[in-house]
Amino acid sequence: MSAENPTAAELLTAVNAAILDLVTGNVKSISINDRSFTYQNLNELRDMRKQLQMEVREPSSTIRLGDVS
């Protein structure tokens, strides 16, 4: 993953891995694109995953990750 400007597909892969690691207890917290998440942030990660899945399916979309809150 490009550290400076990751693609939606790269971020989606990272979010999926983070969700798995947090759910299985492999880690207590994880960072994605300079943001930290814990088990308590699972809903936020799931929402982010939905947004990224839409971006990956529709690459011409103008929605950016910064628009997800």
pLDDT in tens, 32-49: 888 999 999 999 999 999
Task: Look up the pTM and report it.
Answer: 0.73
pLDDT for 36 equals: 94
> Where exactly are the structural domains of the chain?
8-59
pLDDT number for residue 5: 86
**Are the CB atoms for 61 and 54 separated by under 8 Å?**
yes
For residue 67, give both structure tokens. 């628009």
Return the pLDDT at 33.
Answer: 86
CA gap 61, 59 in Å, rounded? 5
Q: Please classify residue 37 by burial: count the beta carbons closer than 10 Å to its beta carbon, then call 0-12 exposed, 13-18 middle and 19+ buried.
A: buried
Give pLDDT, residue 4: 76
Instruction: Using 50 as the pLDDT threshold, list the residues of the chain that sit under it.
Output: 69
**Given this model, what pLDDT does residue 60 score?**
61
Which pair of structure tokens corresponds to residue 60?
């011409």
